[in-house]
Structure formats: C-alpha cells, structure tokens
Amino acid sequence: MSEVGADCPLCRDDGGLLLWRGRDWRVVRALGAEVAEAPAWYRVIATDHVAEWSDLPPAAQADAMAIVTAVERAVRRTLQPTKVNLAALGNVVPHLHWHVIARFDWDSRFPAPVWDAPRRSADGTRLAALRAALPACDAAIVEALTPRASAHP
Amino acid sequence: MSEVGADCPLCRDDGGLLLWRGRDWRVVRALGAEVAEAPAWYRVIATDHVAEWSDLPPAAQADAMAIVTAVERAVRRTLQPTKVNLAALGNVVPHLHWHVIARFDWDSRFPAPVWDAPRRSADGTRLAALRAALPACDAAIVEALTPRASAHP
C-alpha cells in the first residue's frame, strides 16, 4: 500500500492531534468546531489513499479493527461513555478512516447520531469535565498501541 | 454467546428483510420509512444482545467483518454506489449491528451522512431504479454468504 491522493486532506495532513502512527494506520483525536459538542472523537486513519473497506486485504482489515478495538477500550475505560459509535463513511473525504466517538446520554445529540441536529443545548459543565479527561484518554490510547509500533518500525 | 435483552427489538424481531442467518450473525435489508431515501441499506446483526464492539472476542470480530465485507462487495458489484458507509452506533438499540449503506452522489443527503438533513429533493426516477435493483443485490449477498451457513450449522 503506497497510494497518495491528489488534494486529499488525509494524505496531506494528520487530520487531528496525532497520538500514534504505525506503518498502515495512525490514530488522531479530532479537533475543531465539528467536534465541539462531542470532543471525545478519535479517528483511525489509513496511511494509504484507499476508499472502501472491502478494498483492503484481510490482514489490513484485522490490523484496523485491532486498533479500533484498542481505541474503543481506552475510551470506555477512561471516559465511561453511555455508548461508543463506530463509523467509516468517507463521502466527503474518500480516504478510509474509522470514527470512534464516545457518546453520553447528556450530549446534545444523544441518542441520535452525531451528524443529526442537536436535540438539546450543550451542557457546558459536563463538556468541560469531558475535555479535561481527554488527555488521560489520549494517554491510554498511546499506551495501548505503543507495543504495536515496535512491530511496524 | 446466548444473552437476550428484555424488550430489545433486535432480540425479538429480525429487524428487516432476512437474507441470511448464521450462528452468531444475520443479515437483513432495512425496510420502512427510515430508509425511504437510502433503500440499499443492509444490517449485519449480532445474534446475542451485546452492546459494544470491544466486548466481542477477536474471532467474533473477524467473523463480523468478513460478513460486512461480503455484503459491501455484493453491494458494490450489483449497485455501483458512489460510496459505501459502514457504521455501528447502537445509541437507540444497544444491540450490536453494522449498517452497510450504499450511497449515491444523487441521493438526497449525499455527501452528508444518511442521518443528516436532506440537501435536495429525492430523485424518484433514480430511487425507483435503485429499488428495482435491490433483489439482485439481495441475491448476491445470499450467494456470497451461503457457503458460511454450512460452516455454522
């Protein structure tokens, strides 16, 4: 795998706060306005510019889901979300990336998907507490994945 | 795995048009108003009432993604979508299920997620053509998965 997409933002940039980079996948925490009301939003992003999940060979799929699972476990352990949401959409940026999003029953869109309209006002106090917990979650993700780095130097 | 959730609609019902049922997973095509403007919407549903992806052992995860991949390949081959969307959300029904949704650049929400507000009117002619193609897609999914049935009698 070594393709690069012209003008693809995920080929050009990390796509968020870089937490871990392996040979075929990296993990970032999403930043910016898009995640203002769901800040515990991580992405597992393919190194190569491949669009569809079923284009990956089984070993690359297994690698991806092991990383997604490790991120989800770190999120659950450190943030105790009501639910974790996983998605690979790619309609806007057709470069394979898994969203791993911690959802809370108090968040402004729950139980709707994060892409739906808000159902209630953002709870600033709880959002601030969640944001304060993100560095611990980031660290748990890095710790969970670091042994993998040495397997893919 | 043998849990059943009280009052869980995916424990009680198939959750759509049943296409294939294995020991641990089944595949349905979603029906009804929710999918009126994105009718090529399939679900890979766990038999057991488990909520989170990371609760599954690796073998069950691998089984799920092999089925998701087979469904995605059948969708791509028979419907030639612009993009396939995969998601496991479960905020409303916390019983693990993967959405596999064919998206088209003409569909009413593209490139937004199917859960976002429509961006344009539904194209009745193209939707009718897509609906007419669904039985062929259903059949391709059944054909792709049928060898698995005998592996899990």
Residues of A in contact with B112 (CB under 8 A): 91, 115
Q: What integer pLDDT is reported at residue B5 of this predicted model?
A: 80
Residue A81 and residue A40 in contact, taking contact as beta carbons nearer than 8 Å:
yes
Whether residues B85 and A87 touch (CB distance < 8 A) is answered with: yes
Q: What integer pLDDT is reported at residue A3 of this predicted model?
A: 67
Complete domains list, chain A, with CATH: 3-146 (3.30.428.10)
Quick one: which H or E segment has residue B11? helix B9-12
Residue A137, burial from CB neighbour count under 10 angstroms (0-12, 13-18, 19+): buried
Question: Where does the pLDDT of residue B138 fall: very low under 50, low under 70, confident under 90, or very high at 90 and above?
Answer: very high
Please tell me the distance from the alpha carbon of residue B84 to that of residue A50, in angstroms, as a whole number: 13
How far is the alpha carbon of B89 from chain A, nearest alpha carbon, in Å?
Answer: 4
The verdict on A69 touching B (C-beta cutoff 8 Å) is yes
Q: pLDDT in tens for each of the 153 residues of chain A?
A: 456 787 999 999 999 999 999 999 999 999 999 999 999 999 999 999 999 999 999 999 999 999 999 999 999 999 999 999 999 999 999 999 999 999 999 999 999 999 999 999 999 999 999 999 999 999 999 999 997 654 443
Q: Give CA separation, A55 vs A15, A62, A102, B3, B137, in Å.
A: 22, 13, 27, 34, 19
The verdict on A110 touching B (C-beta cutoff 8 Å) is yes
Please tell me the distance from the alpha carbon of residue A151 to that of residue A142, in angstroms, as a whole number: 15
E strands present in A67-136: 83-88, 97-103
Q: Is the pLDDT of residue B4 over 90?
A: no
Residue A131 and residue A38 in contact, taking contact as beta carbons nearer than 8 Å:
no
Q: Which of B72, B89, B97, B141 to mutate to test the interface with A (most CBs of A within 10 A)?
A: B89
Q: Is B53 helix (H, G, I), strand (E, B) or coil?
A: helix
- pLDDT (average), residues B71-93: 98
CA B60 to chain centroid: 17
In chain B, % of residues over pLDDT 70: 94
Count Cα neighbours of A2 within 13 Å in the Cβ-side half-sphere: 0
How far is the alpha carbon of B68 from chain A, nearest alpha carbon, in Å?
Answer: 9
Q: What integer pLDDT is reported at residue A147 of this predicted model?
A: 78
Whether residues B113 and A115 touch (CB distance < 8 A) is answered with: yes
Q: What integer pLDDT is reported at residue B147 of this predicted model?
A: 78
The ipTM estimated for the assembled molecules is 0.94
Q: Is the pLDDT of residue B148 over 80?
A: no
The verdict on B69 touching A (C-beta cutoff 8 Å) is yes
Q: What is the pLDDT of residues A138-152, one digit of tens each?
A: 999 999 999 765 444
Residues of A in contact with B111 (CB under 8 A): 91-92
Q: Is the pLDDT of residue B105 over 50?
A: yes
Q: What is the pLDDT of residues B8-45, one digit of tens each?
A: 999 999 999 999 999 999 999 999 999 999 999 999 99
Q: What integer pLDDT is reported at residue A150 of this predicted model?
A: 47
Looking at the DSSP assignment, which residues form a beta bridge with residue B100?
B42, B86
Looking at the DSSP assignment, which residues form a beta bridge with residue A100?
A42, A86
CA A11 to chain centroid: 16
The verdict on B88 touching A (C-beta cutoff 8 Å) is yes
For residue B114, what is the nearest residue in chain A, using CA coordinates? A115
